Amino acid sequence: MIPDTLSPGQYDTVYNFLSLVIAAQLFTAVFLLISLPRILPRYRAAITVAIVVCGIAAYHYFRIFDSFKAAFVTEAAGGQGDYAQAAGVGFNEGYRYVDWLLTVPLLLVELIAVLALARSVQTRLLRGLVPAAALMIILGYPGEISGDNGVRGLFGLLSTIPFLYILYVLFVQLSKSLDRQPASVRATLGRLRYLLLLSWGVYPIAYLLPLLNIAGSDAWVYKQVGYSVADILAKAVYALIIFQVARMKSFNDDPTFAAIELSRDEEPARS
């Protein structure tokens, strides 16, 4: 539940984290957009999806940020007093779900696209992963907006089924394809899967906080901070690792491209 009041410190913490997410997502998207020519065309689809994911997340955090600013106000001069919920507007938790409905399937598309598998394998994997990701988010929503812990637990459980299926595809089905990736990128791709597991794991924990009877304004602030950090890891940091994979694979595929790109990094020879 959204707390009735926040202390100035709590208010500032949420405010600063929400703003941090906007900066992280927006400028990861800008960085990747400028960096597109630094990878081969065959990997640009993956990075284009990454740019779109970070852009969508930045858009939604602008909305979440505005919703937060409108939802809590203080009567005291200079923002020294507690913040209370404003009349006429509520903080809209639903935005996060709208964001995830669009971005979570796309995060899996990013991962599969950068692997550059045979088209038939790629299509088969995505036909399982994308609907599972959408279903996971859709099933979480009724639990999130419900005040009833039973409903929250039930939908949390239902939403875990597609999540487990996604983990099965990524950690079992995908392992064979990973073995065929160039040796230089295999370790990075392994780390990427664990980053996905770690950052996606934050969401169910935050979701379950009310079931553990951890309530009150502190729990709510922790939840906002947790979601914010998880969104930075799962989208911006994840996108940067995908870019690194795309660049390593570009060098591996095309030595001429590698020579041109890498010679740039050296000091020009003085004669």
Q: Determine, following the binding rule CB under 8 A, whether residue 88 of this chain makes contact with its own copies.
A: yes
Our finding on whether 52 is near its own copies (CB under 8 A) is yes
Q: How far is the CB of 264 from its own copies (least distance, A)?
A: 4
User: Of residues 6, 10, 25, 51, which one binds its own copies by CB under 8 A?
Assistant: 51
DSSP-based three-state secondary structure for 200: helix
**Which listed residue (176, 179, 266, 269) binds its own copies by CB under 8 A?**
266
Based on CB atoms, which residue is closest to its own copies, 84 or 209? 84
Contact 63, 79 (CB under 8 A): no
Site for its own copies in 108-127 (CB under 8 A): 116, 118-119
74 touches its own copies (CB under 8 A): yes
Could you give the CA distance from residue 132 to residue 203 in angstroms, rounded to a whole number?
Answer: 16
User: What residues numbered 21-40 form the site for its own copies, per CB under 8 A?
Assistant: 22-24, 26-27, 30-31, 33-38
- What own/partner pairs with CB < 8 Å and gap ≥ 24 does 168-175 have? 169/125, 169/128, 169/129, 169/132, 170/111, 170/196, 173/125, 174/125
185, 187, 193, 196 alpha-carbon torsion, rounded to 10°:
-90
- Comparing C-alpha atoms, which of 137, 191, 206 is closest to residue 166? 137
142 near its own copies, judged by CB under 8 A: no
Residue pair 220/7 in contact (Cβ under 8 Å)? The answer is no
User: Measured from the CB atom, is 213 or 264 closer to its own copies?
Assistant: 264
Residues 199-218 that bind its own copies (CB under 8 A): none
For its own copies, give the closer residue by CB, 37 or 213. Answer: 37
| Rounded least distance, CB 164 to its own copies, Å | 27
Q: Note whether 7 binds its own copies by CB under 8 A.
A: no
Of 250, 233, 253, 215, give the one whose Cα is nearest residue 21: 233
Q: Left (φ > 0), alpha (ψ -120 to 50) or beta: where does 51 sit? A: alpha
Residue 73 interacts with its own copies (CB under 8 A)? yes
Smallest distance from its own copies to CB 52, Å: 5
Selected binder of its own copies within 10, 25, 39, 49 (CB under 8 A):
49
